């Protein structure tokens, strides 16, 4: 069997905000078809790492590359075009547009630039896929929180990304919604998608992640299977905050 191919490489990534080092010399890679969990206590630098990968801002030092092409330093829209789409910790839907138009925006600005009838068709399929088929004609502003998250996921998928970044996509859901959300991500995993998952929900980390990188105070403190890292004393100490 051929070993999994490295898709995304993060090397010596550092981000300073004034005197604060939010991400400190992080190095990790993401293999094709894996779900990699980026975990750690609050304030450990996970969202900043996601912001660096998606190009919300550039690193202070270090590089991010995908398929051996350096992406760090490119603006966010070019990174999306290169094949990285994301959802946000605080959901960002476009309230003036219909559900379908929200998803079409993802297709038009995504990796494969789909427009017109093809994009509309794809948007409908994705809205069904994420469980929004009965809400298709509703205004976006009437959607519940979970449905806004579903919409954001459909929009990210419409970009046909090579790497999908999910930033606490499961946060704030009730227990039933959480099970549905885990099932949805689990289906994406079975399809062989490559995903970076920033997550706090331990059940989700255990059932969805092939591998985890654990951050604390901006640095990587552990890496391995969910089982291994979640039983690592240093990781437990970091979560408990000593
Ligand atoms: P996590 O996602 O693990 O909770 P963050 O990446 O959000 O952690 O934050 C890491 C650190 O960087 C925190 O101390 C946070 O306050 C700081 N930080 C994040 N974004 C900014 C910013 N835009 N400006 C200044 N400080 C920031």
Q: Which H helix or E strand runs over 178? A: helix 175-190
The per-residue pLDDT of the chain, averaged, comes to: 92
- Ligand 1 centroid distance, CA of 184 (Å): 28
Which ligand 1 atom is the nearest neighbour of the CA of 215? 3
Side-chain half-sphere CA neighbours of 101 within 13 A: 10
User: For the domain 1-83+166-173+198-242, what is the CATH code?
Assistant: 3.40.50.300
**Contact 52 CB / ligand 1 (< 6 Å):** no
Taking only Cα atoms into account, the Rg of the chain, rounded to an integer number of angstroms, comes to 18
pLDDT in tens, 37-65: 999 999 999 999 999 999 999 999 999 99
Residue nearest to atom 20 of ligand 1 (CA): 48
Q: Please compute the mean of the pLDDT values over residues 75-99 and round it to a whole number.
A: 86
Which ligand 1 atom is the nearest neighbour of the CA of 218? 10
pLDDT score, position 95: 81
Q: Which of 46, 91, 88 is nearest to 219 (CA)?
A: 46
| pTM of the full structure | 0.93
Cβ-contact 8, 161 below 8 angstroms? no
Residue nearest to atom 18 of ligand 1 (CA): 22
Q: What is the DSSP letter of 115?
A: -
pLDDT in tens, 208-228: 999 999 999 999 999 999 999
Q: Please compute the mean of the pLDDT values over residues 137-144 and round it to a whole number.
A: 88
- Ligand 1 centroid distance, CA of 43 (Å): 6
Q: What is the ipTM of this complex?
A: 0.98
CA dihedral 64, 66, 71, 76 (to 10 degrees): -110
pLDDT for 242 beyond 60: no
**CB environment 13-46: b (16+ within 10 A), e (fewer):** bbbeeeeebbbbebebebeeebbbbbbbbeebbb
Q: Which of 110, 130, 114 is nearest to 122 (CA)?
A: 114
Residue nearest to atom 14 of ligand 1 (CA): 43
**Contact 2 CB / ligand 1 (< 6 Å):** no
Q: Which of 174, 187, 84, 74 is nearest to 126 (CA)?
A: 187
The CA-to-CA distance between both ends of the chain, in Å, stands at 44
pLDDT score, position 65: 98
pLDDT for 156 beyond 70: yes
Residue nearest to atom 25 of ligand 1 (CA): 17
Range with the poorest average pLDDT among 40-49, 103-112, 135-144, 157-166: 103-112
Residue nearest to atom 19 of ligand 1 (CA): 48
């Amino acid at each position: 069997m051929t070993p999994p191919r490295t898709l995304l490489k993060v090397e010596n990534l550092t981000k300073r905000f004034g005197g604060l080092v939010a991400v400190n010399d992080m190095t990790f890679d993401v293999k094709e078809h894996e779900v990699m969990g980026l975990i750690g206590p609050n304030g450990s630098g996970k969202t900043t790492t996601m912001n660096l990968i998606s190009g919300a801002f550039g690193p202070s030092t270090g590089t991010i590359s995908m398929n051996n092409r350096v992406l760090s330093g490119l603006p966010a829209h070019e990174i999306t075009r290169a094949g990285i789409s994301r959802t946000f910790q605080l959901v960002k839907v476009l309230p003036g547009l219909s559900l379908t138009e929200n998803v079409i925006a993802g297709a038009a600005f995504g990796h494969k630039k789909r427009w017109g009838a093809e994009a509309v068709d794809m948007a409908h399929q994705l809205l069904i896929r994420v469980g929004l088929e009965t809400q298709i004609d509703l205004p976006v502003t009437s959607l519940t929180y979970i449905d806004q998250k579903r919409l954001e996921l459909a929009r990210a998928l419409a970009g046909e990304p090579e790497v999908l970044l999910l930033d606490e996509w499961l946060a704030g859901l009730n227990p039933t919604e959480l099970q549905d959300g885990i099932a949805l991500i689990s289906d994406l995993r079975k399809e062989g998608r490559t995903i970076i998952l920033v997550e706090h929900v331990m059940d989700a980390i255990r059932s969805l992640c092939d591998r985890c990188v654990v951050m604390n105070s901006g640095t990587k403190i552990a890496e391995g299977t969910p089982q291994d890292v979640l039983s690592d004393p240093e990781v437990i100490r970091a979560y408990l905050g000593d």
